[in-house]
Amino acid sequence: MTRSVQSDHARTEAVRLHPGDDVLIVVADGAAAPPGHKVAARSIAAGEPVRKSGHIIGVALEDIAEGDHVHVHNLANPDQSIDDSGRHPQNPGERPLVRAPTDGVTFDGYHRADGRVGTRNHLLVLPSVNCSATVSRVIAERARSRLPANVDGVWALGHQGGCGIPAGGIQLDRLRRVLRGYATHPNTGGVLFVGLGCEVNQLDELTADLPAERLRSLCIQDVGGTTAAIDAGVNEVLALADVADADRRQPAPISALVLGLQCGGSDGFSAISANPALGAASDRLVAAGGTVLLSETPELIGAIDELAGRASDPVAAELRRLARWWIDHAAAHRTTLDANPSPGNLAGGISTIVEKSIGAAAKGGTSALAAVVPYAQRPSTTGLVVMDSPGYDPVSATGQIAAGAQVVCFTTGRGSCFGSIPAPAVKLSTTSDLARRLPDDIDVDCGGVLEGTATTDEVGALILDTVIEVASGRPTCSERLGYGLDEFAPWSDGVTL
């Protein structure tokens, strides 16, 4: 796949990802463009579409000579209109591949009363409102040293919401879906809700219909203020810990796994190595009867029609509706989805949101799209599911965990520092160089795909093996480093009153 291209600048080692591509990806240092960036595979006239991975990722702003650097200075974003009648005429999708099931493979997890299986046994202290976040944090800190051996930890997940919003509306609905999803998550062995008392997000409404056995709640104003609430909260947490201490890991089929798919700090290699390899792992899990959650909806915009082509008509229609909502949402705030690529994305070789989204969608593999669900909503089906969310990683991952993901896989090219609670995050590097530079942050090195020492499917198998080990209790890098508390970020989009 590697070839040299000659420009007026230098000879550059680069790869072509698809036979019809107009650009090559630089894989070794050269004067024409940095590694991860694009160079022209042919002469491209101004106004012509430019293809990468078989998709149109942009339009040439000027004449581009063969071998020249192709980036934001000479490439504009293509049209992002959504065609209800079928696939986008620019980007005809390919038929999905069908991978052999992974029969008989199990992990050791915590079997919960609702039939789901946890990969961790955490206790959570969840404030109903920001005003009770400090009390929640102190409760968790004081209880932590007194936990029994079979409880993984106790964590207070503070947030900025819960009041100053309409009593009925999407902001409150989303926050409650997140908090209830975390409270009933299979990785949660018990939960204490802490309220202030006068907030919009009232405790009785928040906890209505939640299973009572492993749930406690207290109201600061009712129990006598901060000190009394902390003392009462510590006692409640320790009572929950006694219950959770009886939990033991037992074998479970990997069909019980829900895997959240994330990418952050993406670069030009994300679409070549880590993301397709995670897609191969996703296909294996789906074939085994498991579920994968593909999110970050604005970062799927260039792959909407390819994904829709793998779905039933109602699912495809809902996916396109979401895509139009995000385009309109950006326009209402006087911007476009092409504002999404970050400075790090641009420095890593990504030029447009369409280019970024094609790579991002690769995490979902080639399986049929089974469903599209709102933010933080638990899907009612297995398989590949799109869960709507912003592209911002903490907000997106928070929604996936609330929707039931027991493990999150997070690919990175630039080097994102991320972790999550109560679902562990497995970090995947696009290059071996990144894995060497950030050894404490990377769980799986996907650079062998670039270096030709491993195939995409081989690395995909390694990723799934790692997920199974992590699901069975192996700590991830981010867990060892203590990530997860500040990365809890429910999506808040609306009026603050």
92: pLDDT strictly greater than 60: no
Work out the burial of residue 208: count CB atoms within 10 Å of its CB; fewer than 13 is exposed, 13-18 middle, 19 or more buried: exposed
pLDDT-derived band at 31, boundaries 50, 70, 90: low
* pLDDT, tens digit (0-9, with 9 covering 90-100), for 141-187: 999 999 999 999 999 999 999 999 999 899 999 999 999 999 999 99
Mean pLDDT on 277-289: 97
State residue 1's pLDDT score.
44
Q: How many of the other CB atoms lie within 10 Å of CB of 32?
A: 23
State residue 405's pLDDT score.
98
pLDDT-derived band at 94, boundaries 50, 70, 90: very low
Q: Among residues 79, 78, 81, 62, which one has the least CA distance to residue 70?
A: 62
Q: Among residues 319, 285, 277, which one has the least CA distance to residue 300?
A: 319
Mean pLDDT on 83-93: 46
397: pLDDT strictly greater than 60: yes
What are 110's strand-pairing partners?
118
State residue 83's pLDDT score.
66
State residue 85's pLDDT score.
54
pLDDT-derived band at 104, boundaries 50, 70, 90: confident
Q: Between 85 and 130, whose confidence is greater?
A: 130
pLDDT-derived band at 80, boundaries 50, 70, 90: low
State residue 84's pLDDT score.
64
314: pLDDT strictly greater than 90: yes
Backbone angles phi, psi at 70, to 5 degrees: -115, 115
From CA 200, how far away is CA 128, in angstroms rounded?
9
Count of residues for the chain?
A: 497
From CA 445, how far away is CA 465, in angstroms rounded?
13
89: pLDDT strictly greater than 50: no
263 and 324 Cβ atoms separated by less than 8 Å: no
Taking all residues of the chain, what is their mean pLDDT, rounded to a whole number? 92
219: pLDDT strictly greater than 90: yes
pLDDT-derived band at 96, boundaries 50, 70, 90: very low
Please state the pTM of the whole predicted model. 0.92
Mean pLDDT on 242-246: 97
pLDDT-derived band at 15, boundaries 50, 70, 90: confident
3 three-class SS: strand
